[in-house]
């Protein structure tokens, strides 16, 4: 019978040792572990959605106004497989965007329908990723150009295309122009059942 190799990490495994401070036993740190602990997105962002035609995109809205622009989980490109991501959209290269200082001066001003990036799938389908909101382009995620498959592999929010910063005075209007999580799920349900769809975000804008 073959001998199982020793685990090289075994010396580093956590082993609870009984500890007492001021006459009271210290609770093991493992007692506080929660399998269903809220994700970063659940804790710090509000999910909104934007439709370009029938194709959904996700806007993760932080309390400090920062917005992450992502593919919605039901975006068809994720099912087809991502082949490439390009921020050079033809007339401008979004990856060349440069901002300076706390005011993020110099960033491109984008409209909701402005194209952020081009996504191509393994079967040749191409999608123009919209900005989804009106705001200043703070950063683009250039790591997606080198590793487009990250869009399929990273957890929610980590595979963002860009970070946008809307003006304070536009925030309420922007939120009203997008679909909430509940409205988004209702639209998907309506589409699946073949019923007349609710108002799209493009109609709102």
pLDDT digits (tens, 9 = 90+) for 123-161: 999 999 999 999 999 999 999 999 999 999 999 999 999
In a domain, 125, yes or no: yes
Enter the pTM of the model. Answer: 0.79
Q: For the residues 154-182, what does the mean pLDDT come to?
A: 96
Q: What is the number of domains present in the chain?
A: 1
More confident residue, 39 or 23: 39
In a domain, 80, yes or no: yes
Q: Write down the pLDDT at residue 3.
A: 54
193 — phi, psi (to 5°)?
A: -85, -5
More confident residue, 104 or 179: 179
In a domain, 135, yes or no: yes
Q: How confident is the model at residue 54 (pLDDT cuts 50, 70, 90)?
A: very high
Q: Cβ(50)–Cβ(130) under 8 Å?
A: yes
Q: How many CB atoms lie within 10 A of CB 20?
A: 8
In a domain, 199, yes or no: no
In a domain, 74, yes or no: yes
Sign of CA dihedral 86, 88, 89, 93: positive
Residue given tokens 């150009």 in the structure block: 145
Cα dist from 137 to 25, 65, 115, whole Å: 52, 13, 12
Express as a percent the part of the chain with pLDDT over 90.
Answer: 66
More confident residue, 168 or 10: 168
Q: Is the pLDDT of residue 65 over 80?
A: yes
Q: Is the pLDDT of residue 16 over 80?
A: no
Residue given tokens 């959209």 in the structure block: 89
Domain containing 127 — which CATH number?
2.40.50.100
Q: Write down the pLDDT at residue 30.
A: 67
Sign of CA dihedral 119, 125, 126, 129: negative
For residue 164, give its domain range: 64-168
What does pLDDT average to over the chain?
Answer: 88
In a domain, 6, yes or no: no
105, exposed or middle or buried, with CB in 10 Å at 0-12, 13-18, 19+? exposed
In a domain, 76, yes or no: yes
DSSP, collapsed to helix, strand or coil, labels residue 5 as coil
Closest CA to 47 of 62, 57, 60: 60
Q: Write down the pLDDT at residue 21.
A: 81
More confident residue, 14 or 176: 176
In a domain, 161, yes or no: yes
């Amino acid at each position: 019978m073959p001998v199982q190799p020793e685990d090289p990490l075994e010396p580093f495994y956590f082993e609870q040792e009984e500890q007492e401070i001021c006459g009271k036993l210290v609770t093991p740190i493992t007692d506080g572990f929660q399998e269903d602990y809220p994700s970063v997105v659940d804790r710090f962002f509000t999910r909104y959605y934007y439709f370009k035609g029938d194709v959904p995109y996700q806007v993760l809205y932080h309390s400090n106004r920062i917005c992450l622009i992502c593919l919605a989980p039901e975006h068809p490109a994720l099912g087809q497989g991502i082949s490439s991501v390009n921020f050079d959209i033809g007339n401008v290269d979004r990856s060349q965007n440069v901002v300076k200082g706390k005011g993020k001066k110099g960033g491109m001003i984008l409209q909701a329908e402005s194209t952020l990036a081009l996504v191509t799938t393994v079967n040749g389908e191409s999608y123009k990723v919209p900005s989804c909101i009106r705001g200043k382009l703070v950063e683009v995620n250039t790591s997606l150009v080198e590793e487009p498959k990250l869009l399929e592999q990273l957890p929610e929010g980590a595979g963002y295309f860009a970070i946008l910063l809307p003006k304070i005075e536009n925030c309420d209007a922007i939120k009203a122009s997008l679909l909430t999580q509940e409205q988004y799920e209702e639209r998907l349900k309506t589409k699946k059942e073949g019923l007349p769809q609710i108002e799209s975000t493009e109609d709102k804008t």
